[in-house]
Amino acid sequence: MKQPNRKRKLSMDSKEHLNLDGCLEQAEEGRPRDGAAPLSHVPSAAAQDTWSWGQYLKEQKAIAAPVELFSQDQSFPEYENGFQVGMRLEGIDPRHPSVFCVLSIAEVCGYRLRLHFDGYLSCYDFWTNAGSPDIHPIGWCGKTKHELHIPKGYRKDKFVWMNYLKACKLQNAPKKLFRNRSPNGPVPKEFQVGMKLEAVDRKNPSLVCVATIADIVEDRLLVHFDNWDDSYDYWCDVNSPYVQPVGWCQENGRTLIAPQGYPDPENFSWTEYLEATQTSAVPAKVFKMRLPHGFLPNMKLEVVDKRNPRLIRVATIIDVDDQRLKVHFDGWDHKYDYWVDADSPDIHPIGWCDVTGHPLEVPYRANDVKILPGQAVCPTPGCRGIGHIRGPRYSGHHRKICVRKRNWY
């Protein structure tokens, strides 16, 4: 693993938080900044209104990825999105999955939410689905004995949710909006916090490393790689192909990556390591092999654009491996292709956007674009000026600041 450049730390410089008279400034929406236009004023391709999946599949002689291949978190939701802008909740920091923070809803789009960390700049906002298992009602951390990282400027021992909401005239997200998201039931009791296993590094999928169960919530485990920081952590269910029992690498001819700083990594011994750390391994018998994901090349689907996550685009699977899909955004250059986990909540069956009321970015065709006289546009072919490299607080752009021009990864 390569140590990441941590772009955001919990203990930020005082200049990077927003705090006005003890109440936190709301994320500003709908106002042009630095030449940005409100989203409602961004020019659209003419094809947006006439495009349809049925016609497109027929023209391309293509097939849609079957709905049954998608998990509950990826498929059509059972309930409408009842969350509203300004509501407060608790949730996981996606860059540091072991950390639970005070969040506010900055934007609602279809079945998706843009979440804001109270007390921090909106450039750290992120998108998630309304049914995400990563979000919880206020008070959840206290009930489950998880530490809640409070907004900057508040004392941990003095923070009380109801006082915070009352003082700042805020509203909490009602509990009824958080659905029961444990379709697989609780984690088997054989899995315990502190137990060891072998796990794939999702950021470097060719690596399998020594790992520990750092937390258990409902039907998911938090995987932590020994002696690495929490930016590599991830949540998964017990049947995930990313987690394997101790000894799996040896049995399957794979190299096991020892913990960082281990004295003799090439001769790593599980027996010695478990004894030295006074820990135990998850019993091998409780691991169950998940069926292959079933996705195949040339299948069509709808995928969140990770470079501009407010957008969902028409996409095609161009390659697969045991745990991932390589997706191509139809109408775009192949340099924007990327790999995504088969169980990622950012992939959806065709028609998902239409059903949930979320805009779908259709394939770019030069003839579809109509530019009005005097209209400033982004020079990147296919870009409609939505999004900004400086973060979600900017809804649009038109100069040398296209999200496509910036190399995020």
In the predicted model, what is the mean pLDDT of the chain?
84
pLDDT 10s digits, 337-370: 999 999 999 999 999 999 999 999 999 765 555 5
| Half-sphere CA count of 303, side-chain side, radius 13 A | 28
For β-strands 256-257 and 204-217, DSSP reports them as parallel
Strand-pairing partners, residue 243, are 199
pTM metric for this prediction: 0.82
Q: Where are the beta strands (DSSP E) in 267-337?
A: 299-304, 312-320, 324-329
Task: Output the CA–CA distances (angstroms, integers) from residue 280 to 21, 192, 212, 246, 258, in the order listed.
Answer: 50, 10, 10, 10, 16
Q: Taking residues 255-272, report their average pLDDT.
A: 95
Lowest model confidence (mean pLDDT) among 22-36, 76-90, 176-190, 260-274 = 22-36
Identify which of 109, 123, 187, 24 has the alpha carbon closest to the alpha carbon of residue 360.
109
pLDDT band at 87 (very low <50, low <70, confident <90, very high): very high
Lowest model confidence (mean pLDDT) among 4-18, 74-88, 110-124, 238-252 = 4-18
Residue 391's pLDDT is: 57
Residue 371's pLDDT is: 54
Q: Taking residues 106-124, report their average pLDDT.
A: 96
Strand-pairing partners, residue 116, are 104
Residue 110's pLDDT is: 98
Cα-Cα-Cα-Cα torsion 296, 300, 306, 307, nearest 10 degrees, comes to 120
Residue 391 CB coordination number (10 Å): 13
Lowest model confidence (mean pLDDT) among 28-42, 217-231, 384-398 = 28-42
pLDDT at 30 over 50: no
pLDDT at 383 over 90: no
pLDDT at 304 over 80: yes
For 370, the token pair is 């109509």
For 66, the token pair is 């079957």
Identify which of 236, 199, 200 has the alpha carbon closest to the alpha carbon of residue 220.
236
pLDDT at 170 over 60: yes
- Of 393 and 216, the structure prediction assigns the larger pLDDT to 216
Residue 5: exposed, middle, or buried by beta-carbon count in 10 A (0-12, 13-18, 19+)? Answer: exposed
For 120, the token pair is 């921090």
For β-strands 338-341 and 196-201, DSSP reports them as unpaired
Query: CA torsion sign, 193 to 126 to 28 to 79?
Result: negative
- Tokens 């003082």 correspond to what residue? 167
pLDDT band at 381 (very low <50, low <70, confident <90, very high): low
Residue 281's pLDDT is: 98
- Tally the residues of the chain: 409
Residues of the chain with pLDDT > 70, as a percent, come to 76
Identify which of 291, 275, 287 has the alpha carbon closest to the alpha carbon of residue 197.
287
For 292, the token pair is 């292959």
CB-based contact 305:353 (threshold 8 Å): no
pLDDT at 183 over 70: no
Residue 364's pLDDT is: 78
pLDDT at 372 over 70: no
For the residues of 62-93, what is the DSSP string, one character each? Answer: -EEPPGGGS-TTTS--SS-----TTEEEEEEE
Residue 41's pLDDT is: 33
pLDDT band at 3 (very low <50, low <70, confident <90, very high): very low
Chain centroid to CA 296: 23
The C-alpha atoms of residue 313 and residue 347 are separated, in whole angstroms, by 10
Residue 390's pLDDT is: 56
- Of 305 and 184, the structure prediction assigns the larger pLDDT to 305
- Tokens 């450039």 correspond to what residue? 123
3-state secondary structure of 212: strand
Element (H, E) at 308: none
CB-based contact 281:273 (threshold 8 Å): no
Q: Taking residues 227-238, report their average pLDDT.
A: 95
Residue 396's pLDDT is: 55
Domains and CATH numbers, the chain: 62-78+292-363 (2.30.30.140), 87-177 (2.30.30.140), 195-282 (2.30.30.140), 368-408 (no CATH)
Residue 134's pLDDT is: 97
Radius of gyration of the chain (CA): 23
pLDDT at 400 over 60: no
pLDDT at 40 over 90: no
Q: Taking residues 307-322, report their average pLDDT.
A: 96
